[in-house]
Structure 1
């Protein structure tokens, strides 16, 4: 019986530690981004480039992905308000699937962004890779990152 109680206590403490770590990580992210996230275009400082993080244009159901649409709207808004001069669309490109091309096409044909200002990064498989490649491959380090609020 004592062994079961010890196992239960260990599991309970592990869960508590996990929750604590999640809370601390969240607090750390909020502290790092405080004053550096924007919801109003007028507050955003001008930069040369916006890095648009990749996401699928469609959800599994075939419906338009709201994250994709909002990111494209935000990138176009930045361009049309003179906050950026270039857009780097970063996402996954594999056989039969091309997020950067879909993003570029949307920006050109739906948002009226000139094709020549859009760069495609087909190896942005996740946020970390997209940001790392933006810095190391494209030599851009002072950019606006376009994503959603969470």
Structure 2
């Protein structure tokens, strides 16, 4: 048993190191405690990527109107990119599995209040996991080139999944502060990377399907409100 535990631990760390090494160069820029904006040259390079949309991944809510600090930072970074013209559409993806935990409702209201036109906002109510979000971006929303906004620790797995599912991905990290509970998240992320490496090998389908909503059209029908 001890040998098996050690073996699995070694394999897990090898997989993690592989994912990080593969994807670290795809994190183009980061907003953090020392950098709160993008330079004109950075925006021009991001625009040159030709993204179909900016994906903002869910990260929990405090109540039915308030994002967690981590999610707020992701939303603010995504809005900064949108307002700078990095892409013409925003794709919000998160857990809408119950009335008590509706990330999409909070995220949608946040970006609408920031002035984003409703037709430019697409909502994926079935982004129950990072894998589901990436799979559905390609299959449901017909995305090809994708800017992914999340914290650095989460970018590696997000970008790896997206790339292996056939997306052309660029990461913009959102690390504006030190977040409570981060050590526990880091541990969970190690396990999640191992799990998703195997999921992309078999090209597992997302939990839910749905009608195609092309990202180059209007997102209003995806709001569900």
TM more than 0.5: yes
- Which among 23, 27, 33 is matched to residue 23 of structure 2? 33
Contact 1:50 1:75 in 2 (8 A): yes
Which has the higher Rg, Structure 1 or Structure 2?
A: 1
Q: State the distance in 2 between where 1:105 and 1:64 align.
A: 10
3-state SS of 2:141 partner = coil
**In 1, distance between residues paired with 2:146 and 2:130?**
14
1:14 Cα deviation from its structure 2 partner: 2.2
Q: Is the 8 A contact 2:53 2:146 kept in 1?
A: yes
Q: SS of the counterpart of 1:51?
A: strand
2: CA distance between counterparts of 1:58 and 1:131? 25
User: Which stretch of the first structure deviates more once superposed, 20-29 or 35-44?
Assistant: 35-44
Contact 2:97 2:126 in 1 (8 A): no
Question: What corresponds to 1:101 in structure 2?
Answer: 105
User: Are 1:53 and 1:146, in contact at CA under 8 Å, matched by a contact in 2?
Assistant: yes
Cα distance between partner residues in 2 of 1:23 and 1:131: 23
Contact 1:57 1:69 in 2 (8 A): no
Shift, 1:18, TM fit: 2.5
Count of residues in Structure 1 that have an aligned counterpart in Structure 2: 136
- Long gaps (5+) in structure 1: 1-9
Aligned to 1:84: 87
Q: Deviations over 1:51-70 (max 9, x none)?
A: 111222228xxx85122111
Normalization by structure 2: what TM-score?
Answer: 0.55
Equivalent of residue 146 in structure 1, options 142, 145, 149:
149
Give 2:7's match in structure 1, choosing from 5, 17, 29: 17
Q: Could you list the runs of 4 or more consecutive aligned residues of structure 1 that deviate by over 4 angstroms after TM superposition?
A: none
Select which of 69, 72, 85 maps to 1:69: 72
Mapped to 2, the partners of 1:116 and 1:82 lie a distance apart of 16
Q: After superposition, what is the alpha-carbon deviation per residue over 1:2-38, rounded to whole angstroms, capped at 9, x for unaligned?
A: xxxxxxxx41x22321321222111111122132013
Matched, 1:58 2:48: no
Instruction: Map 1:110-125; keep pairs closer than 5 Å.
Output: 111-125=114-128
User: Normalising by structure 1, what TM-score?
Assistant: 0.80
Q: Which runs of 5+ in 2 are unaligned?
A: 31-37, 154-225
